[in-house]
Copies of this chain bind each other. A is one copy, B any other.
Amino acid sequence: VSEQTAFISFLSDYGRRDEFVGVCHGVMARRCPRAHVIDITHEIPRHDLTVGALTLRDSVRFLPAGIHLAIVDPGVGASGAEQRRAVALRCRHEDRWLVGPDNGLLAPAAQALGGVAQALDIAASRERLTPVSATFHGRDVFAPVAAALADGAIPESVGEPLDPGALRNLTLPQAELSGDTLHAHVLSIDRFGNVALDATPAQLHQLGLAVSPQASIEAPPRRSSAIYAVTFADVAAGAMLIYEDSRGMAALAVNEGSAAHEMDLRRGDEVIVRLA
């Protein structure tokens, strides 16, 4: 076992109001005292697999190689046919591990990391805390397995081999361009009220915004005009822009304001973009 720092990143929908996140940190520190845990965020909207999966996928390339623990787990504790697997997935890129529920949450990140080279079912891992509670597998299954892998445990010792082809996938929303109209949806809204869409910058180009940068934005009953720009300061204070955000997605913002508030947008809402 190396004495180097072992990095574990941690994303969940647990929030920080309760002790859930702190207790998982404690469990990891007990199993791997030299682990360095980086909290990505714990404010994924409750049970929102899409936001969780995209946040994880778009964060991993900025994180050090190691273990990526992610927990958004609406199906925790189900039994029989409803039971979701608990998994650890070794990815091709830098042998990074993803640890979490097999409900699609890990799938886009696995793909971004070159695909799954090795999959383990960890539900009955000998690393788990027993008795396993019915409702807190983060503490009892996922955190201890993540820490064991960070500590250099042999994969075969933490779970049972699993066919990577049997893993659950996740269908991500995707904007559709039909004629001169882009039908997009709100993927997420950040603290500043900036609205990430499920559209790509390439789709904005196809719409013609690179040539004629005046867009019309509709989310009935609201309607606004927006300028296709690089950043907030490219438009006047209070004006709306449509731009490529720092994750690489098309997004709406209002300079020194809130696009979400101005268009009364919530996660999942449809947003129609046209040339003005």
Ordered nearest first, which 3 A-B pairs have the shortest CB separation?
A: A77-B231, A78-B233, A136-B246
CB < 8 Å neighbour of A232 from B9, B135, B140, B190: B135
Assess the B191–A27 pair: CB atoms within 8 A: no
Q: How far is the CA of A145 from the CA of B22 in the complex (A)?
A: 22
CB < 8 Å neighbour of A9 from B15, B22, B43, B79: B22
Q: How far is the CA of A21 from the CA of B21 in the complex (A)?
A: 16
A18 interface hit (Cβ, 8 Å): yes
Distance (Å) between the CB of A167 and the closest chain B CB? 20
A40 interface hit (Cβ, 8 Å): yes
Distance (Å) between the CB of A132 and the closest chain B CB? 10
Which of A59-67, A104-112, A113-121, A176-184 is the interface stretch?
A59-67
Q: What is the chain B residue whose CB lies nearest that of A29? A: B64
Distance (Å) between the CB of A72 and the closest chain B CB? 12
Assess the A16–B29 pair: CB atoms within 8 A: no
Assess the A63–B29 pair: CB atoms within 8 A: yes
